Amino acid sequence: MLKTLPKWLITVASGLLIVAFPAPEGITQEAWTLLAVFIATIVGSIVQPLPGAAMVLVGVIATVVFGALKPAEALKGYSEPVVWLVLAAFFLSVGMINTGLGRRIALLFIRAIGRKTVGLSYALIGTDFVLASMIPSNAARNGGVILPIARSICETYDSRPDDGTAGRLGTYLMSLLYQADVIICATFITGQASNIIIADLAQKNAGVTIGYAGWFAAAIVPAIVSLILVPWMIFRVSPPEVKETPEAAEFAAAELEKLGRVKRKEWLMLAVLVSVVVAWTTKDHLHTLDTAIVAMAGICALLAFRVIDWPDLMGERNAWSVFVWYGGLVNMANALSNTGLTKLFADSVGGYTAGMSWVVALALLALVYFYTHYLFASITAHVLAMFVPFLAVTAAAGAPAGLAVLLLAYFSNLNAGLTHYGTTPAPIYFGTGYVKQGLWWKIGLIASVINIAVWSTLGPLWWKLLGWW
């Protein structure tokens, strides 16, 4: 308790700081209290006197205890389809890992193009790219599929984090895989779970609907350019000593031989994933089923065909933690957006951009939004705290809604590359010990400049061509 006391003091103080001031004119005391609890919950999620999901649960209860919301209102977030969609995303990743399908895909890529270091890196990037089109858990993709293979290959080349050999291969590979994953997260609406939340917030607050196909179509051109330039930059900043990796391809071939022919469960897993993605992309064209219902139907099919078992899902602690996290925070963010506080924030900040063209205002606001991620250890926390208010300010500045939504949506992913705590895979890769913190932050900063340049110039041109603004 004594160890976490300073963290509790910071968390509580952040909320008390809000309520110490009177509510602005036109804002109810309940709304002001809700803002205080929300801010304290976000701060608590960052400093973590308790794990993130537990802090959100405390925040949900606090909204009722302090009179900001009624019980039914406080718990309403757990009935939101988007929250169940996030839960289903984690359950789908359970099937991908348990059946071995994800590992097989990675090994096929490595066997095909893994004889050189650059080819090996793109084989693993390609695996992440394919899996991201179907699995909205970047932690499951990287921690469960890609990283174990990458570490095995590093050790094959005697590259280890603790004996001075990290630079042979591991430092380059771990830096690259994480920075590439951040770009891939931005490429698909299923790239990471918060993208589903972003699409929901964009529809509710800006009237901009982004589906699976629309998100991918808008992202693919700048994503390809980033996936060329960022790996090139990392190769220059932190070049691997090992340039040829024929043993990697041989390792993959040997592992594939051990796996044998594709199993029945793998075929069923693939069939369900493809069916879910097809149903997502054809929504409003061939059917009107909610995307969450489609995903849950896929889970039901996996259970029915015994690809996964119910105990597998009950034992997926990360999924249930994220369910508690998303349900609580999404509900608080939605409740706040209905109080008038977002408009008040937009009007206040809008004064600083008054007289600017919307182009300059959008550029400045997007940069602030991007680099404030240094303060966040979660894409979700950053999005729920800042996406809607910044969207409101860009609208007040006169920026086209479609352009502002896309720029902030993609920046919400790309900014996670800044630090070794930017999103869940960051501490997973950093924890291997191959990359020192100074180098990690240096690469993250340079990658941010490249990504901002690509996505804020080529991006808008491409989105204009597609008719987004």
Spatial distance between the Cα atoms of 262 and 245, rounded to a whole number of angstroms: 26
Q: What SS3 class is residue 244?
A: strand
Binned at pLDDT 50, 70 and 90, residue 156 comes out as confident
292: closest CA among 251, 325, 326?
326
Structure tokens at 123: 């084989």
Domain interval for residue 239: 81-318
302-344 tens-digit pLDDT:
999 999 999 989 988 878 887 888 888 888 888 887 887 877 7
Higher-confidence residue of 105 and 291: namely 105
In a domain, 305, yes or no: yes
What value does the mean pLDDT take over residues 416-434?
89
Chain-centre distance of CA 429, in angstroms?
Answer: 15
The confidence score (pLDDT) of residue 87 equals: 86
On the question of pLDDT at 462 being above 70, the answer is: yes
Q: What is the pTM of this model?
A: 0.85
**Residue 405 is encoded by which pair of tokens?**
């939504």
Quote the DSSP letter at residue 167.
G
CA distance 285 to 438: 49
Is 363 part of any domain? no
Is the per-residue pLDDT at 79 higher than 80? yes
Over range 427-432, report the average pLDDT: 87
Closest CA to 80 of 416, 340, 433, 326: 326
* pLDDT value at residue 319: 82
What is the pLDDT of the chain when averaged over all its residues?
A: 90
Is a pLDDT exceeding 80 seen at residue 349? no
Interior/surface letters 167-178, b for 16+ CB within 10 angstroms, e for the rest: ebbbbbbbbbbb
Residue 231: per-residue pLDDT? 96
102-111, 281-290, 355-364: which range is least confident on average?
Answer: 281-290
DSSP run (H or E) holding 222: helix 212-237
Q: What angle do CA 325, 412, 53 make, to 5 degrees?
A: 10
- Number of domain units in the chain: 1
Sign of CA dihedral 277, 281, 285, 287: positive
Are the C-beta atoms of residues 127 and 171 closer than 8 Å to each other?
no
In this predicted model, what pLDDT tens digit does every residue of 185-241 receive, in sequence order?
A: 999 999 998 898 899 899 989 999 999 999 999 999 999 999 999 999 999 999 999
229 assigned to some structural domain: yes
Residue 368: which residues within 8 A CB-CB, separation 6 or more? 390
Averaged pLDDT, 177-189: 96
Residue 165 counted as domain residue: yes
Q: Is 255 inside a domain boundary?
A: yes
How crowded is residue 98: how many other Cβ atoms within 10 Å of its Cβ? 17
Of the candidates 241, 223, 263, 226, the one whose C-alpha atom is nearest the C-alpha of residue 103 is 263
Give residue 1's pLDDT: 65
Amino acid found at 20: A
Asked if residue 262 is part of any domain, the answer here is yes
- Residue 199's pLDDT is 93
Distance CA 31, CA 398 (A): 27
Residue 306 confidence (pLDDT): 93
Residue 371 lies in a domain: no
The answer, yes or no, to whether residue 395 has pLDDT greater than 80, is yes
Looking at residues 364-372, what average pLDDT do you find?
93
pLDDT at 67: 93
Say if 413 falls within a structural domain.
Answer: no
Q: Is the pLDDT of residue 58 over 70?
A: yes
